[in-house]
Amino acid sequence: MARYSGPSNAGPYDDEVLYVRRPLPPSDDGFRRRLWGFMIVVFVSFCLLVGRTWHLQVLQGEHFLQLSEQNRLRSLRTKSLRGKILDRHGQVLADNRAAYTLMAIPADLPPPDRLLPLLRQLNIEIDPETLRPRRRGTALKPVPIQRDFPRDQVAYFAEHRMDFPGMFIEVEPLRTYPHNSLSAHVLGYLGEISEGQLQRSKERGYYPGDLVGQAGLEQALEEVLRGQPGMRQVEVDALGRETQVITSRPATPGMDLVLTIDFQLQQLAERLLASHRGSIVAIDPRNGQILALASHPTFDPNAFVPRPTVATWKALSTDARYPLHNRATQGQYPPGSVFKIVTALAALADGIVTPQTTVCCSGSYDYGEHTFRDWKPSGHGCVQLRQALAQSCDVYFYHIGQLLGIDRIAHYSQVFGLGQLTGFATGMEKAGLVPSSQWKRRARGQPWYAGETLSVAIGQGYTMTTPLQVANMVATLANGGTLYKPTIVLRQERVLQPTPADTAPTVLHQMRVPVQYLAAVQQGLWSVVNDPKGTGKAARHEQIMIAGKTGTAQVVGLPDHDASPSRQQYLPEQHRHHAWFAAYAPFEAPRIAVVVMIEHAGKGGSQFAGYAKTLIEAYLRQSYPVAATPLKTTRMTP
């Protein structure tokens, strides 16, 4: 404090000292508040940093450890060897060959602007976006860039390996079909798995780009043929290049399929069909084993390995002859007069007729206001069952069909396995159609008219069958009434393991029809081939007793003068009749049943009875008129 001295005449308080307080400096409260705020922010930030560190290292430590391991370790599949497909005698129909495939791990690939020039160095033109992961969790799954990679490009890639991050070469088994188009519709083909298939098979370990069965047995038995892939855990560097293998689990090969198909019989069937559109099916009546199943036009499944070119696929998919369509199991046709087997047995079993019942045929049959024509305008005269079958008398079957009614015909059709899937292979067949009064009410909203029954009785009208169904029907008659499930896989086997037993036959139905009625129909079919007036005389053999039935399936409704066989050649091909011939032999102890079906042949099955005879003779004598060498077909190109 400063001391103050007043004037000399100050008064009684001259000795008092007065202290005066100086003004204080400005307050520092704002500074302190800012300091405290800064310290709080630092403290909170430190706490957050510590908390985040604890969260990452303690709570999520395992997760980030796994991510780190994923960046360093990769799990790569080892492709399994697909099972072979062989004929019943061991002839290889589908095999594997080793091929190089350029693979990529999407997560390790460089950006598109760098990737395109790299791919061009390898003569590969591809949209880089197709290599990007399409679904979450697939960035580390290898995808194929190019299969069947040329050897010279493999050598270049190996020499410049460091220049191609995220890519590697894999030796992959690719399918090969050594006999080209032989049995193509039976075998099917492979193709890259689609997005839809990938979604449906997510639990089965498929990756994008995997090759899977897309048709035939390759598709129906995909799980059997595929096997189980192996796994390699490898260590990679920062560029995704493999440095060492950590662990390895070998792949398990798929099962081999031994088919019931007889290679030489199949080859002969396909040669007979070479100039036609149609199919041939041969079955062993004793057990339902399919001996031959041919469809024409056909294709070479090698054209799909590793994938068809755009031009090849366009040629196949737009071909008006539908070469990819399996006519033997998926073609649905009116059965024509081969259906008279069903009508005859139904009438006998229901007591409508006896084998001696006589019907007189003048060439037409009047019913209500309609006249139904016989294929023979002059008629067949008075005939019994045996002659009616031998000469394929329509009037006889109009008569007994009218007496039977549609629902009894439908019942016996189903007993023979018509109008339903045979079950021989999943997804490889159509069911056909057996009409009934209930079916028409449900499908058309209309009542059944009695006149429609007459058309069904001779295999026309709404009735639709596949050649496989007709072959099984004839086999059932031949063996005395046992309907077997047609089988095409004799057994599944694995290399270096004991050979398993053949697949046991499966009985679908046992007919409860008196033996004498079955014998009466069988005798009628014997007469078709061996009677001088039989429509199938071309199948007659001097040493082998053959029974059979011809059939003509009308495609569209035609005026009577155009429907006659002599006029068919003048019609557009698509309006001409289909031709059937069904047969079995030897008559006393059948070992083979054959069906020949030719589309738009323009004539009845009589002209193709010789095809069945050729097949039967070759099979029973194991002597084939054509040398059993692979068909020399080439890949189909436009």
CB 238 within 8 A of CB 88: no
Instruction: Return d(Cα 522, Cα 535) in angstroms, integer.
Output: 15
Partners of residue 27 on adjacent β-strands: none
CA 345 – CA 338 distance, rounded (Å): 12
CB 637 within 8 A of CB 312: yes
β-sheet with 278-283: strand ranges across: 290-296, 278-283, 592-598, 578-585, 547-553
Beta bridge partner(s), residue 333? 465
Provide φ and ψ at 552, rounded to 5°. -125, 120
Which secondary structure element, helix H or strand E, spans residue 118, and what is its range?
helix 112-121
Give SS3 for 383.
Answer: strand
- Report the C-alpha gap between 521 and 386 in whole angstroms: 7
State the CB neighbour count (10 A cutoff) for residue 162.
Answer: 8
What amino acid positions are annotated as catalytic residues? 337
Which residues have C-beta within 8 Å of that of residue 46, sequence separation ≥ 6?
none
Among 299, 593, 109, 289, smallest CA distance to 117 is for 109
* Distance separating the N- and C-terminal Cα atoms of the chain: 117
Distance CA 99, CA 96 (A): 9
Q: Please compute Rg for the chain using Cα positions.
A: 41
Tokens, residue 193 = 């798995």
Give the Cα separation of 581 and 341 in Å (integer): 12
Q: For residue 372, give the 3-state DSSP assignment.
A: strand
Strands (E), 46-110: 73-78, 85-86, 92-104
Ordered DSSP codes for 521-584 = HHHHHHHHHHSTT-TTGGG--SSS--EEEEEEE--S---HHHHSGGGGGGS-GGGSPEEEEEEE
H, E, C per residue of 270-338: HHHCCCCCEEEEEECCCCCEEEEEEEECCCCHHHHCCCCCHHHHHHHHHCCCCCCCCHHHHCCECCHHH
Structure tokens at 234: 């490898």
Q: What angle do CA 299, 303, 307 make, to 5 degrees?
A: 135
**Cα–Cα nearest to 86, from 179, 174, 173, 172:** 179
